Amino acid sequence: MLRQGLPILLLALLAGCNSASVRPDAPDGAGTVTPAGAGDADAGAPAPAKVPAGKPGAASAADDELVQRLDQLAGRLTLVQEQLIELKAQGAELSLQSQQLLARMQMAGPAPAQEMAPETPPASSDTAPAQLDGLIDQLGMIANELSASGVGDSYRLAADYTRSGQWVLIRYDRFSGESWLADQGSWQSLQDPVAVPASDYEVVLERADNDIKGYVAARLDRRSGETWWLKQDTWQKFD
């Protein structure tokens, strides 16, 4: 009885598979039940594209983000390198400046005892008179400068004798140029047609036998070089 019913059961299963369009040789996952008549309607339509496993769009976004982070990190490393180079250059410059300052301080400081110049030996007796003469000359120059600036004696005398033995005496102010001639115990002012400026003057008096007065006198401005000669009691300027 069981043997007779087994073929009938197999025939029934085959009939059901044919009605459901199930192919025994189809690959795995392709046994989807298709309603009757749907196969004929979709026969001309293209088969849908198969989507591979995973999401390619999400993978591309992750790669882009990783590249951006690497670029940022490389930029930061470059900035740090530039700052290190700049700090190194500044350090070298500061080191050079400190060395120069130290050298200047050493040059400005007191010289060691062994580098000091030897003491000058005492001057011999032969050089003492020459040094004394030089000192006197310097003192004379200082005195002349003080006199020219109005400090010290301002009056001078010029004197000489004539052929007849008359004593001629002229007093003058070396800064103002004023002058006086001694006459019988009193001073007679010598005239200037034009007022002379304050300067440094000198009067020279000499014996002159051929002159009617028996003497000649001249006045010199030692700063400007202007010169006068005495005519009777008036100074005449040389042109």
Q: Decide if pLDDT at 26 tops 60.
A: no
CA–CA separation, 154 and 174 (whole Å): 6
CA–CA separation, 202 and 226 (whole Å): 11
192, 203 Cβ separation under 8 angstroms: no
User: What are the pLDDT digits (tens) for 54-63?
Assistant: 555 666 777 8
- Tokens matching residue 153: 């004696």
CA–CA separation, 32 and 206 (whole Å): 158
Query: Global pTM?
Result: 0.39
- Give the distance from CA 192 to its chain's centroid: 60
User: What are the pLDDT digits (tens) for 70-102?
Assistant: 888 788 878 778 877 888 888 788 878 878 777
Phi, psi for 51 (deg, rounded to 5): -85, 120
Residue 89 identity (one-letter amino acid): A
- The pLDDT-based confidence of 40 (bands split at 50, 70, 90) is very low
Cross-strand pairs, 188: 181
